[in-house]
Amino acid sequence: MSGGGRRVMVVEDDRDIRESLQDLLEIEGYAVTTAENGRDALERLRRMEAPSVILLDLMMPVMSGDELLHVLRGDDALRSIPVLVVSAWTDEASKVRDLAQGFLRKPIAVPDLLAEIDRFA
């Protein structure tokens, strides 16, 4: 699979999950940027070209995924970036379902992950 201009941002506080997703996506040809919490992601997003899609965990310290999602949707420069919520917490995910373009439940099935990302990247 050729990545071309396909860019994915992975926002995940668990280092092992973040690095595993990065490795997987890079093998699949994506350019990957990572962030360990919402604040880190927001700072990076304001300095870089927008990614094709954001994979967003919800339960994180500093700035949670749902807080970041609300900030993104209220920001003219960032609101159009597609977001896929990735979480084990289906109740929490249901609260932000209308703000995201999709939901993937942890543990993530790789074929489902790639199919969802391919919708945007």
Given a contact cutoff of 8 angstroms between Cβ atoms, the answer to whether 39 and 62 are in contact is yes
Residue 1 falls within a domain, yes or no?
no
Parallel/antiparallel/unpaired status of strands 53-56 and 7-11: parallel
> Does 2 reside within a domain?
no
Which residues are within 8 A (CB) of 95 and not within 5 positions of it... i.e. 6 or more apart? 66
* pLDDT, tens digit, 9 for 90 and up, residues 8-45: 999 999 999 999 999 999 999 999 999 999 999 999 99
- Rounded CA-CA distance 27/2 in Å is 10
102 lies in some domain? yes
Rounded to an integer, what distance in angstroms lies between the CA atom of residue 23 and that of residue 49? Answer: 21
Count of the separate structural domains present in the chain: 1
Query: For position 84, which CATH number holds?
Result: 3.40.50.2300
Domain extent, residue 61, equals 7-118
Establish if 44 belongs to a structural domain: yes
pTM of the model: 0.92
Predicted local confidence at residue 90, as pLDDT: 75
Residue 70: inside a domain: yes
pLDDT at 1 (0 to 100): 35
In a domain, 33, yes or no: yes
Q: Average the pLDDT over 37-54 and give the result.
A: 96
Q: In what order do the strands lie in the sheet with 102-105?
A: 31-35, 7-11, 53-56, 83-87, 102-105
Question: Does residue 114 lie in a domain region?
Answer: yes
| Band (88; pLDDT cuts 50, 70, 90) | confident
